[in-house]
Amino acid sequence: MRTFVISLPESIERRARIEQQLASQDVPFSFYDAINLNNERNHYFHHCDEQRFLLNTGRTPTAGELGCFASHLMLWRTCRLLDVPILVLEDDADIADDFGRTLPFVERYIKRFGFIRLQDNDKGGERNVIRQQQRHINFCTRYPHGSLGYAISPEVAHAFIEHSEIFRAPVDVFIKRYWEHGQALFSIAPALASTSELSRHSTIVERQHATRSLTLKSQRWWQKRLDFVARAKFNVNWLRSERKRAALRMTRRIRLAGFRSQN
């Protein structure tokens, strides 16, 4: 599973920091030069829906957010082109001491789950689906902000690409709205990556908060309620399907054990 680190070419300190961390754990990787957009959004997106962005975030988009999303989008396209899972990190990540040793565990399950978040999920909700001695994998019933690090399969990358033709939200908000792109999201615990002190001074994103009118506040209030219902419906359907899949896996194990005992 190839590892890519998104980083602006001029971010010398960030590059040196993440390179030292990965090298110390013998993790091979490639830098992906982050895209720094001004007005070239049409090269990556068919349209920028600023009204929808305002509804999703309560503010207007920045060129930095467009560039950040475009950088992740290009790596999703790379994942689809290579037709193998990849691991994506942003350059302000601090990785866990056992990051390198745990990557085989992530690689083992990424084809099954499609998307595994590497940073913490403290502000989200989750249900355990894989429990092992050192690490667990959880289904995210509420996904927090952040796109610091994740593993992604070609199938999920394709779905993300298909739903990214119109720019409506920052990349982490796009990912967390899983009921819209239709892909279940998972996280690993304990986390393999956390935000470093460098994250306080973003080199890609400088957010600008807009003055929120009463109309916008009302619209966002209703949108959050609609999102709550859509998220809950997705979670219920996925958990119901997972129970059926778990029962089927158990039946197969029992049959296999019976076959082996007969031979």
Torsion angle, CA of 79/82/85/90, rounded to 10 degrees? -40
If you average pLDDT over residues 9-26, what whole number do you get?
A: 95
- Interatomic CA distance for residues 53 and 40, integer angstroms: 18
pLDDT digits (tens, 9 = 90+) for 75-128: 999 999 999 999 999 999 999 999 999 999 999 999 999 999 999 877 778 889
Q: Report the 10 Å Cβ neighbour count for 55.
A: 16
In total, the chain counts a number of residues equal to 263
pLDDT the model gives residue 42: 59
CA 168, distance to chain mean position in Å, is 16
**Does position 199 have pLDDT exceeding 80, yes or no?**
no
Alpha helices in the chain (DSSP H): 12-24, 50-57, 63-82, 99-113, 154-162, 171-176, 178-181, 214-262
HSE value, Cβ hemisphere, 13 Å, CA-based, for 3: 23
pLDDT the model gives residue 64: 87
pTM across the whole model: 0.87
**2-210 CATH:** 3.90.550
**Does position 190 have pLDDT exceeding 90, yes or no?**
yes
DSSP secondary-structure letter at 212? P
pLDDT the model gives residue 263: 61
pLDDT the model gives residue 211: 64
Domain boundaries, the chain: 2-210, 212-263
- Could you tell me if residue 20 is left (phi over 0), alpha (psi between -120 and 50 degrees) or otherwise beta? alpha
Place of tokens 């509804």: 55
Torsion angle, CA of 88/89/95/99, rounded to 10 degrees? 10
Please check whether residue 142 is in contact with residue 231, taking contact to mean a CB–CB distance below 8 angstroms: yes
pLDDT digits (tens, 9 = 90+) for 206-236: 555 556 788 888 888 898 999 999 999 999 9
* Alpha carbon distances (Å) from 116 to 67, 123, 193, 214, 245: 23, 16, 12, 38, 19
